[in-house]
């Protein structure tokens, strides 16, 4: 009788183990990674890194940069609806890398950078309708590269960067008057190679490099007050649980773009090249880790957001220069086949 009881218990135990196994498998299947990447038609220009990019309407624009030998000045338009590239008029300034760009209304703006010998502070306007560039008032800060810039409504903002030393100053540009105005400097440390984005009429600058350290801060600029506000740190800086998984957000030479009411940060480098993708929600001031960038791991790429998609192109993977372009749909589940 005792032997029969033991056999029954063994059968029950085996049944529970099998149920547990299938339950575990089902739970794994329910873990969904959001953010799906699709490779698009390769950039038609030379492979390059440290270029500039911006978006106007349905079009993305990419130009300048460094191909490992030369500083470039060609400029290209990407049709996001039809997935093809068209070469536009060359950038009129000297070829450069490490420049800064943004779009205001129907115009693009490019300035600062490095030509291989000199740090630069010239500034130009591009009209995609006429395909004409115009020289505008020079950036009034020190000549520099590795700065960051963004546009809010009818004004552009450019600051930080490296002029021989890292900087934290910021300037506002008005295309209506072609006038630059010095504004309040970003808080925290000086920085170079930071990344910026705009969400809901506010500008954000994240991370960067100073004194050999990758910065773990995020600052928000409000154009209505002209002031900067420090947001939550982008590392595990508190005893609370929300930032327990904040590893590897800080970086330099990354790509950021806005889709809807959220921002997306990917590629770049810290102690190594990075492919992680982070989603920032300004409503909660929280970051969420999405599916990694699927292209070759890289730094010094270009990115822009148009409608429901983000785009990443060019960049450098160590000494290898890149010309592919990838489209992100953050609302779609990760699909390894597409």
Rounded distance between C-alpha atoms, residue 323 and residue 336, angstroms? 21
Predicted local distance difference test score (pLDDT) of residue 238: 97
User: Nearest CA to 158 among 121, 115, 199, 212?
Assistant: 121
Element (H or E) spanning 15, and its range? helix 2-30
Predicted local distance difference test score (pLDDT) of residue 25: 45
Rounded distance between C-alpha atoms, residue 167 and residue 185, angstroms? 9
Here the tokens at position 108 are 């693009």
Predicted local distance difference test score (pLDDT) of residue 31: 61
Rounded distance between C-alpha atoms, residue 147 and residue 164, angstroms? 12
Block means of pLDDT (10 residues each) for the chain, length 338 residues?
A: 48 43 44 89 98 98 98 98 98 98 98 98 98 98 98 98 98 98 98 98 98 97 98 97 96 97 98 97 98 98 98 97 98 82
Angle value at C-alpha 300, between 335 and 201, nearest 5 degrees:
80
Predicted local distance difference test score (pLDDT) of residue 336: 75
CATH for the stretch 36-331: 2.120.10.80
Q: What is the pTM for the complete model shown?
A: 0.90
Predicted local distance difference test score (pLDDT) of residue 33: 86
Predicted local distance difference test score (pLDDT) of residue 253: 98
User: Which residues in 18-58 belong to E strands, given as ranges?
Assistant: 34-39, 52-56
């Amino acid at each position: 009788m005792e032997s029969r009881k033991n056999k029954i218990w063994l059968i029950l135990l085996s049944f529970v183990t099998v149920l547990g196994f299938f339950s575990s498998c089902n739970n794994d299947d329910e873990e969904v990674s959001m953010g799906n990447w699709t490779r698009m038609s390769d950039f038609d220009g030379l492979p390059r890194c440290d270029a500039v990019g911006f978006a106007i309407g349905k079009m993305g624009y990419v130009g300048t940069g460094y191909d490992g030998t030369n500083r470039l000045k060609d400029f290209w338009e990407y049709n996001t609806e039809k997935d093809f590239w068209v070469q536009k008029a060359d950038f009129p300034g000297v070829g450069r890398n490490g420049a800064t760009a943004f779009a205001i209304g129907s115009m693009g703006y490019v300035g600062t950078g490095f030509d291989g010998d000199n740090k630069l502070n010239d500034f130009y306007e591009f009209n995609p309708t006429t395909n004409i560039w115009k020289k505008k008032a020079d950036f009034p800060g020190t000549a520099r590269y590795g700065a960051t810039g963004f546009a809010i409504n009818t004004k552009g903002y450019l600051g930080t960067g490296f002029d021989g030393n890292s900087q934290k100053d910021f300037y506002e540009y008005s295309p209506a008057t072609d006038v630059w105005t010095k504004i309040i400097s970003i808080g925290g440390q000086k920085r170079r190679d930071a990344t910026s984005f705009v969400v809901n009429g506010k500008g954000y600058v994240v991370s960067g490099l100073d004194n050999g350290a990758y910065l773990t801060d995020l600052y928000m600029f409000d154009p209505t007050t002209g002031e900067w506000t420090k947001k939550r740190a982008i590392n595990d800086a508190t005893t609370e649980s929300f930032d327990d998984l904040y590893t590897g957000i800080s970086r330099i030479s990354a790509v950021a773009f806005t889709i809807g009411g959220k921002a997306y940060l990917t590629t770049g480098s810290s102690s190594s090249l990075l492919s992680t993708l982070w989603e920032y929600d300004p409503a909660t001031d929280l970051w969420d880790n999405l599916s990694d960038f699927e292209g070759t791991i890289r730094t010094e790429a270009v990115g822009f957001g148009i409608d429901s998609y983000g785009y990443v192109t060019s960049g450098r993977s160590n000494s290898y220069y890149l010309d592919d372009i990838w489209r992100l749909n953050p609302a779609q589940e990760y699909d390894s086949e597409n």
